[in-house]
């Protein structure tokens, strides 16, 4: 918005840019979700007020989950999500650069509040295709024209996904068993019903963000992480020096569900999980993002409910999206 305004002024006279930038710099930087008003003067138009709103949660600003559902079935998407969570090698193949780019960025956004810690090349040039032979985790995208060459290379165990046909070119055959069974079923059910849920919620008075595909899909995957690691903050202890330490084993053993405990055994060894916990250990104050808000709500309701798979998952999602209460 600022750059558009600068360009509009520059088109009239370069001298008009500086006063605008000065008034902008004198304005306070808005808090998440808040709006600031910048007063400006433009010859011919007189005084103008430019409103600048900082998004509540900016991580989805340049992400479009629609492309994932255009290219992939829900079941395939969840298998890819599971493979990335356990930091495996994943290769996307598509005819268009735009498909590779948008799907790669979207699938990584599903990992929030975690961040992909390894090689990430949404569009890998054909001349660098040998990178897929490296033994470390990666997520790379290749144009379909490189597929014959890809099949000749000695690629270690990897999940190869054809985004044009919703098929796995190569897989490890255990992708359906990586996530806790009941939570995987809940994920599938919520995503299969996504259009119905969005249209019902658009009639309610909940946040605008939940009336969109991006908002709903984000909430569904956040709920998965809330159910699996939402109790993490209870196991961050502080010593006399004020240093925080995470009680790993106590955290894992505190989970009632055997399948979630088994999942955590593997997931807790990932760099993704290590980075997440290290960030929380080093913070002077508590993290305050959308995930932390959902965790707070989850911990408040925890004493009243035991882990009960799908209904609890959907009910928890329903605390954010009231329509789910009507359906369950």
Task: Check residue 290 and give its pLDDT.
Answer: 86
pTM for the structure as a whole = 0.79
Q: Is the pLDDT of residue 217 over 50?
A: yes
Query: CATH top-level class for 65-170?
Result: alpha beta
Give residue-wise pLDDT tens across range 263-322: 999 999 999 999 999 998 988 776 678 899 899 989 888 765 444 445 566 665 655 544
Q: Which two tokens stand for residue 294?
A: 């959902």
User: Of 19-33, 111-125, 262-276, which range is least confident?
Assistant: 19-33
Task: Check residue 189 and give its pLDDT.
Answer: 94
CA distances from 105 to 13, 40, 179, 238 (A): 38, 37, 22, 36
Q: Which two tokens stand for residue 236?
A: 């961050």
Provide the β-strand partners of residue 118.
none
Task: Check residue 324 and give its pLDDT.
Answer: 39
Reported as a pLDDT band with limits 50, 70 and 90, residue 48 is confident
At 159, which helix (H) or strand (E)?
strand 159-162
Helix axes of 213-229 and 181-192: crossing angle, nearest 10 degrees: 170
At 102, which helix (H) or strand (E)?
helix 97-109
Average pLDDT over residues 104-120: 96
User: Of 86-100, 117-131, 175-189, 279-293, which range is least confident?
Assistant: 279-293
Q: Which two tokens stand for residue 59?
A: 């991580």
| Domain boundaries defined on the chain | 2-54, 65-170, 181-321
CA angle 324-326-328, nearest 5°? 70
């Amino acid at each position: 918005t600022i750059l558009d305004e600068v360009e509009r002024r520059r088109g009239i006279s370069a001298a008009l840019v500086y006063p605008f930038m000065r008034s902008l710099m004198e304005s306070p930087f808005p808090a998440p979700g808040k709006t600031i008003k910048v007063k400006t003067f433009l010859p011919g138009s007189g005084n103008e007020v430019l409103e600048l709103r900082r998004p509540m949660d900016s991580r989805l600003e340049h992400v479009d989950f629609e492309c994932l559902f255009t290219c992939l079935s829900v079941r395939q998407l969840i298998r890819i999500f599971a493979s990335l969570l356990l930091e495996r090698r994943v290769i996307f193949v598509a005819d268009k650069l735009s498909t590779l780019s948008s799907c790669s960025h979207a699938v990584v956004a599903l990992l929030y509040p975690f961040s992909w810690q390894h090689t990430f090349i949404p569009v890998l040039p054909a001349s660098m295709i040998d990178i897929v032979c490296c033994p470390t985790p990666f997520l790379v995208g290749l144009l379909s024209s490189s597929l014959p060459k890809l099949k000749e290379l000695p690629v270690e165990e990897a999940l190869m996904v054809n985004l044009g046909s919703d098929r796995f070119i190569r897989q490890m055959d255990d992708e359906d068993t990586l996530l806790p069974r009941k939570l995987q079923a809940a994920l599938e059910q919520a995503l299969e019903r996504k259009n119905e849920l969005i249209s019902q919620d658009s009639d309610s008075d909940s946040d605008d963000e939940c009336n969109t595909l991006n908002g709903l899909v984000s909430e569904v995957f956040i709920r998965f992480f809330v159910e699996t690691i939402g109790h993490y903050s209870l196991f961050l202890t502080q010593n006399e020096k004020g240093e925080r330490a995470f009680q790993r084993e106590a955290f894992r053993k505190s989970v009632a569900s055997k399948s979630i405990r088994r999942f955590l055994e593997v997931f807790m060894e990932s760099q993704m999980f290590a980075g997440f916990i290290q960030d929380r250990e080093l913070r002077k104050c508590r993290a305050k993002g959308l995930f932390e808000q959902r965790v707070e709500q989850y911990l408040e309701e925890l004493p009243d409910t035991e882990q009960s798979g799908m209904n609890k998952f959907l009910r928890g999602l329903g605390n954010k999206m009231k329509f789910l209460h009507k359906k369950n």
